[in-house]
Structure 1
Amino acid sequence: MSVDAREWGWEHSSSKGVARLVLLSIADRVPDEHCVAWASLASLVTRTNASRTAVRTALAALAESGELELLDHLDGPQRTSVYRLPRAAAWLAKVAEAAKDDPDAYVEPPTASDPVPELDQEAEKKLRRYGIWPKKGKESDPSRRNPTGAESDPPRRNPPPRRAGIRTVEGTDSAPQNRSKPKVNRRYSSAAVIPVADWRVDPASRAWADQHGHLARLGEAGLHAADAKWRAHRADFKPRPAAAWAADWRSWIARENSPASGRPNRYAVPDNGGPSATGGMTRAEAHTAALLAALGEPTGEGAAAQ
């Protein structure tokens, strides 16, 4: 139903600027055809990205224009304010009435003279499922904690103000109270960080290598060799989330050259069984050997024998 209320706001509301954002933010929470919704000032400030003063001014302007009504006899969750969009409710009632005879009937645009449906007690009872209740203080009002309205039921307590109450020394795991102990891994709060040695090629990364032709280009052995080189070069890196390691691994595989027979591997990892490990050459010697091999000159012990 919030879709219909938002559509009215977009198409027929005369509000502008911050007032329009406030109206649409409230319309986004409308649960049924009565166009009643709760909203706190803090939530409206966050949603509209406006100042508290600007939001208060917008609420006053909307109320003056007749597009918003404060229902001061109702409370939302945590005693938040409850509002109604009366003209939106009138428009939806007009559309529903026309649809009874012809679902495709043309409906005239809303006007200020369109009657607003009455918000009776039955409609207010339905609002309780959305956390909207009558304010305390009337004998006829049932208790919020006990829908039957038993006298023994305690009234709902007012929420404590921010930064009030007794804080434990330890705090909690999810929100530490001690400011000297900030949360760790704030950037990757939704994923645990691991060292590269603990990361394994996941099925999605292997499917990516196959889909982009890297598996066919490098071959199974070449892919394993490239993986070993990547791990050796990342051994000293700080732990990262698995998704970050996967992205870095794919970037490495995409840049890896196809293995060629008859020439040494210029980037072979020490002790991986490659030419540099077998011959015990340094990287400079391996580069020299690769150059001589390309020119057809003998290298290593064969050159010494000649």
Structure 2
Amino acid sequence: MSSDAREWVWEHSSSRGNARLVLLSIADRVADEQCISWASLSSLAKRTRASLSTVREAIERLVDSDELEQLDDLTGPQGSTVYRLPLAAVAVAAAARDQDADADSTDGTDDTDESVDEPESPPAVRISALRRYGIRLRAVPESPEGYRKPAVPESGRSRRKPAPRGTGNRHRGVPKTGTQNRSEPDKNRRYSSGGAAVTPAAEWEVDPDTHTWTRQQGHLDRLGEEGLALADAKWRAHRAGHPPRSAGVWAADWRSWIAREHAPSRPRLRALPGGAGGGPAPAGGMTRADAHMAALLAALDEPTGTEG
């Protein structure tokens, strides 16, 4: 039945923007032909990638437009809020009634004397049919005078707007101003807004996009394979003590590190002229600067053939 509710939202709902996205998320959890669903503000914020305040405003607009009802006398799984799409419920009931009429006409039943008017309100809520989905009547605490409020009849319904803005964030796991896009890091939860788990720097692997970046920016040609590997090792050593972060944060930090990394030093000069192929290391007691100077002096002492 969730498919019928979603189809009604796509085809007939007048909602737009975030309100339309929230209504589709609620319709996705519709249990049966009554078009009743359940969801918490935090779950809607996660599914729509919106903040709690944005979800509250969207629900307010949907309630004002009569496309959504909030049934306060019912509670869903784990204490979640129960909603109903009343206009979708009317459409689903009308479609079922038309289907029954077509079936009767096929069977040869004559019901021309009976007229069925289009209902102006959705059918009564059948709570007994919702219990298998974890939806039940909300428990009413006993008053000090010992009077217990009677149970709401199955035909009754309650409609109210959600709590006004500024009442505080009472939902754990979602920041008051939640992340709005996939690339924004979320520091307050174990998972980023993109849904990827945070990892230590030592476990992070260079992704294909970052490999392409090193080639396009010329860092691979500048550093070479060995120089790039050395720079990567230095980065991991310096980031070993940092707290775990998402892959996107590590990738940006790694790119910044590689862009600042200097190219490896050039190979040292040969100690003697003509020593191609890489001669032995400087003799004991000679520094690299002394070896370079000895090579220059030896080159000056060689005959050039132009002497008088």
Shorter-chain TM-score tier:
0.3 to 0.5
TM-score by length of 2: 0.44
Structure number with greater CO (CA < 8 Å, separation at least 6) is 2
